[in-house]
Amino acid sequence: MRTAAMDGEGLGSEEGLRSVVRSVWGYDTLRPMQGEAIRASLERRDSLVVMPTGGGKSLCYQVPPLITGKLTVVVSPLIALMQDQVAGLRLSGYSAAALHSHVSPEEARRVRESARDGSLRLLLIAPERLLLDGTVSWMRSLGDRLGSIAVDEAHCISQWGHDFRPEYRRLAELRAHLPGMALHAYTATATPRVREDIVHQLRLEDPLVLVGRFDRPNLTYRVLPRTRVVEQCERALSRHKGEAAIVYCISRRETESLADALRARGIDARAYHAGMDAAARTRVSADFKAERLDVVCATVAFGMGIDRGDVRCVVHAGMPKSVEHYQQETGRAGRDGLPSECILLYSPADSERWRTLMERSASEGGGGDTAALNAQLELLRHMRMVAGSGRCRHAALSEYFGQAYEPPAPTPAPEATGGCGACDVCLNELDEVPGSAVVAQKIISCVYRVGQGFGAAHVADVLRGKATARIIEKGHDRVSTFGLLRSMHRDSIVACVHQLVDAGALAIAPGEFPVVTLTGASKAFLSGERAARLLELPRERGGASADGTSGPGKRGRRAESGVDALDARQRELFESLRALRREIAERLGVPPFVVFADTTLIELAVSRPTTPEAMLEVKGVGRKKLEQFGEAFAGRIAQWAGADG
């Protein structure tokens, strides 16, 4: 393919860059950090680029080869993602290939040939493959046809990260084998320790370090006390009918029981976990990718290879074990930048469960590695703090990643309440429990009265004055706190217990049946020296209401953009274009999102271009894609406009 360099433009001139990005990807502009990262690569300066999921890291290493006319080798850990990326680039007329264990020797030979004859621009390669004997010396033999090496998901090299992969460690050898070669590392993990470790392990020399903003303004975060997990998931999913959603569960068994329960309620959900046989797993992820399936109940095993950009809802049915995991998993929502919702159904018991699992696996591993165990427990503690706080979720997450949070400029909206405008706290969805300091005291003394030997639900029943068989058997109908909170709902009391645990006023003892106990601080709350501010369970928000509109607060006040902003006719056209995209993708054997992103379909549905020139104006429509798909989409739009009258 022709490159800007061949076109005689200055290497990486502003105009040269822009025209490449416009004609291949159909984007008008580079995001600020992308420009800097690309320039570092063109200047052959080592770099470490830290950008959140969806920030646009891939463009940073995809653009330079088109400018220099040289090959970039990208180390990438996930075969599924490599395949999608290659398919998407090829649709844009970009010469890309992958080398991994599923590539036949014949195909591998062709790929190597295209690198040698200078026609290949991007080669994705798995780390274990890269370090096979021969690969590096083959790379060396390419001489200056090889321009640079990019390491994607670079945090995998660090044991301080959340996804350490031993095969990444050997990437340190690259520097020795290919002296003088520019190395560029990319990651979404921002903790300073991991960052330093990447620089050190990869032997980056005077790297340009670029750290993007971690906030994801298009995501609305909500943390709900987990009470009835199936109903809560159902309610969340019903706000996203016909849209992609992932429900993350802690255990394999939960993915299956939750998917079954949701199916029984008419939601077509499937389970996905690493214990399923490979064929069943492939089927689920292929169906999800091809948009034949919208809801997946999964363990963390799902998602690493999923690149569907239009996930509109991520529910955590249990708390993840680190903020990094939470950020990465919620990061799978709204990668296309459109408004999306993230719900964490939280119980402090999750934290105890993780602790037990971590301690068990540490002791099974010989029990020697206390440093690693402590590192894990520390990550867990931070997650719990973020989940249990009554602070703005965007602020809490940004600050965890070391960035002060700046809310976006306020938009005039009736429900605007200041703050981020996109989390349950700032949207004022949480009310304070009336007389919460006194409620806290009643709960704490009840925990004491029942002898610190029971779970939150039992404590709640005692406070509500329920004479259950178990309460009578234990004589808890005769304790002084029996019936002190008769007017409160059981779920609300349980939620208050959880918040008191977060505030340090109570604790949950680990074990199979979590037991609520007092802490050193309980007394201060009882005496009124410290006061708890307890938040009410969020008012039950329904799903779609009878008139088909969604309930309030669906996605916070950012809902002006995205599918929600379409009127009924535009929405109809959007759905029709989506169906067309699915047909085309199926015919080509690629996932729909590599044909066009949702953002592109939305723009098409709004501006309804019917000529090729007008279509090129739409973000995400590059020349090659216009050539291949322009007619079909313009035809569909024209047909629809005709029917419109």
Contact residues toward Zn ion (CB under 5 A) are 392, 394, 419-420, 423, 426
30 part of the interface to ligand ADP, by CB under 6 A: yes
Q: Which of 498, 222, 220 lies closest to 351, judged by CA?
A: 498
Size of the site for ligand ADP (CB under 6 A): 17
Footprint of ligand ADP on 297-316 (CB under 6 A):
309
| Helix orientation angle between 393-400 and 370-388, rounded to the nearest 10 degrees | 160
Pairing state between β 515-518 and 506-509 = antiparallel
> Hey, what amino acid is at 482?
F
CB 60 within 8 A of CB 38: yes
Asked if 57 interacts with ligand ADP (CB under 6 A), we say: yes
Are the beta carbons of 536 and 479 closer than 8 angstroms? no
Per CB under 6 A, 622 contacts ligand ADP = no
Q: How far is the CB of 184 from ligand ADP (least distance, A)?
A: 13
Contacts of ligand ADP in 581-610 (CB under 6 A): 597
CB 535 within 8 A of CB 390: yes
Q: What is the rounded CA–CA span in Å between residue 231 and residue 214?
A: 31
Taking the complex as a whole, the smallest distance from the CB of residue 154 to ligand ADP amounts, in Å, to 12
Residue with Cβ nearer ligand ADP (31 or 213): 31
Any contact of residue 561 with ligand ADP (CB under 6 A)?
no
Q: Between 59 and 88, how does the x/- string for binding to ligand ADP read (CB under 6 A)?
A: x-----------------------------
Rounded to whole angstroms, how far apart are CA atoms 187 and 154?
A: 5
Contact (CB, 8 A) for 53 and 190: no
532 binds, among Zn ion, ligand ADP, none (CB under 5 to 8 A by kind): none
Rounded distance between C-alpha atoms, residue 629 and residue 616, angstroms:
12
Q: Say whether 538 sits in a helix, a strand or coil.
A: coil
**Residue 35 interacts with ligand ADP (CB under 6 A): yes or no:** no
Nearer to Zn ion by C-beta: 353 or 394?
394
- Residue 226 interacts, among Zn ion, ligand ADP, none and using kind-specific CB cut-offs from 5 to 8 Å, with none
Q: Least distance from C-beta 357 to Zn ion, angstroms?
A: 31
* Residue 421 interacts with which of Zn ion, ligand ADP, none, CB < 5 to 8 Å by class: none
Among 324, 336, 350, 502, binds ligand ADP (CB under 6 A): 336
Between 380 and 396, CB nearer to Zn ion: 396
Question: Quick one: what does residue 309 bind among Zn ion, ligand ADP, none, with the CB cut-off 5 to 8 Å set by partner type?
Answer: ligand ADP
Q: Which pair of structure tokens corresponds to residue 420?
A: 């981020």
Smaller CB separation from ligand ADP, 377 or 597: 597
Residue with the closest Cβ to ligand ADP?
Answer: 56
Distant-in-sequence, close-in-space partners of 209: CB < 8 Å, separation ≥ 6: 47, 48, 50, 195, 199
SS3 150: strand
Burial label for 630, CB within 10 Å (0-12, 13-18, 19+), is middle
Among ligand ADP, Zn ion, none, residue 423 binds (CB under 5-8 Å by kind): Zn ion
What is the DSSP secondary structure assignment for residue 157, as one 8-state letter? G
Binding site for ligand ADP (CB under 6 A): 27, 29-31, 34, 51, 53-59, 309, 335-336, 597
